[in-house]
Structure 1
């Protein structure tokens, strides 16, 4: 009988999905209730008989260690007598890998047991006595706080001078209170970069060189292939010359690039032209320095 009872509860354990995906485990109160089979061994009362049990519990999960109060009712028929038992236990358990959806636990309990033996229309009460138990089991938790738990228990109750050995298997449904499991947000993707191109100019010139024409052609092709609907064109100068002259020169350079982009098939309405003069040099220099890399137009595809 012991082997049959153990096999039945083991099958119930394996029936739960063995999900091993780790989540964030948090402390909290929990409750549960269920039932199962109970076999009792009472010396001089007809040997071992199979019956049933009903169990309820409330506890607190410390994430690993757990403490709970358990109440149980057990019924068995021993030959021509009926045995009813009630027990209240304080259990101390430890749960392995509590962050997993499926986790095992072991525990011990101390408390009291009471009961009665009835035959025909008469019943005899058994004195309330000390009881202790050991248990092993497992639980499967869901993301909404619900869980399914299975337990194998051996309880020794000392009633009316006799040891009542109870071997039980239970399946229960419970709920753990507390805040929702914090979701781990996936890392944010890096911000998309806008393709950019640089067109360089000769000193004090706004006309396009052969290299500049090739760069503009490449920028236009990239805008078309990437479905870029807006193009920013910003003109710059070096620091040789006055601020006013350089501002006007930077605008002429930007407009020259815009016109060529239009000729390459980019709609003029989607091109924004800005002149920065000498205010944003690519290579910082002193005033009056002719720096070739600062004589430029930047094309940014948006």
Structure 2
């Protein structure tokens, strides 16, 4: 009575989803696995009793995120009430399997993956020859695995295996036996490599420092009511920032001599500084710059009285 056992099924290693999706990223790669479980004979000869057996083995394969392929080697034994003194078949039958398998994960992007599979290969079944009775083998699998991390998975599997009929020589002649088994297996698998790292987040957009514009009449450096209101807003903005610096940069239009305009732009900047101090900004926190006709807000020719160019820019940093 030859009751063969199949290969330890295992569950492959895996892809699929993240603990929310933060530590799990599906990725293709090679994996190794190991596992085992219980096995039962589905067929036996008259007068032969079989018992629950065991099976264990390992595999190496490649996960394509959906399809998986692997090569599996396993060994198992099923007990029986048949005794052939001096033979390997004596109270048990052992079977060594070498199988090529293909699987399909139905939820390959998820942490939990139900799957089906099938395999073909060769089985070496206990007999009284050195390699045993060599038989063609086939199997079908259904199971589910759980991806603990991107690289590590565990799973449970049900498996059916059949082979062509093995034979053994007995004192009464050669006995041929059917050989079909089912197994319940548990396994663990590890995938090599690493999931692709997420691209770094884009840098935050640059935020321009707060700025305010104070305008002046032609050839003047005194402040209008509107200018005083703008300066108060700038002082309030400074106070909200805590430890900050203010730059007050004076400008003129292109009318008048350049040297005169340089001095005028500096007077305007100092006038704004004084007003900021009156609004509670510490004087050491304010830097004044005079740029004269440089840095025109509105580009004009020489000698043009352009109101937009007669200004002080207040920048808070």
Report the TM range for the smaller structure's normalisation.
Answer: 0.7 to 0.9
Partner in structure 2 of residue 66 of structure 1: 68
CA distance in 2, matches of 1:260, 1:71: 87
Number of residue pairs matched by the alignment: 283
Structure 2 gaps of 5+ residues are 1-16, 83-90, 167-175
Cα–Cα, structure 1 residues 90 and 287, in superposed 2: closer, same or farther, change >3 Å? same
- Is residue 105 of structure 1 aligned with residue 111 of structure 2? no
Deviations 1:102-139 (A, max 9, x none): 3233221110112227xxxx999741101011112233
Shift of 1:50: 2.7
> For the Cα contact (< 8 Å) 2:155–2:188, is it kept in 1?
yes
CA distance in 2, matches of 1:32, 1:123: 31
CA distance in 1, matches of 2:246, 2:52: 83
- Is residue 212 of structure 1 aligned with residue 222 of structure 2? no
- Work out which of the residue numbers 248, 256, 272 in structure 1 matches 2:287: 272
- Work out which of the residue numbers 140, 158, 172 in structure 2 matches 1:134: 140
CA distance in 2, matches of 1:97, 1:286: 71
Shift of 1:24: 4.1
Partner in structure 2 of residue 53 of structure 1: 55
> For the Cα contact (< 8 Å) 1:114–1:159, is it kept in 2?
no
> For the Cα contact (< 8 Å) 2:18–2:110, is it kept in 1?
no
Structure 1 gaps of 5+ residues are 1-16
Partner in structure 1 of residue 160 of structure 2: 154
Cα–Cα, structure 1 residues 207 and 48, in superposed 2: closer, same or farther, change >3 Å? farther
Mapping of 1:170-181 within 5 angstroms? 170-181=185-196
Per the normalisation by structure 1, the TM-score is 0.83
Question: Relative to structure 2, which stretch is displaced further, 234-243 or 214-223?
Answer: 234-243
Shift of 1:180: 4.1
Say which SS state the counterpart of residue 163 (structure 1) adopts: coil
Higher radius of gyration, 1 or 2: 2
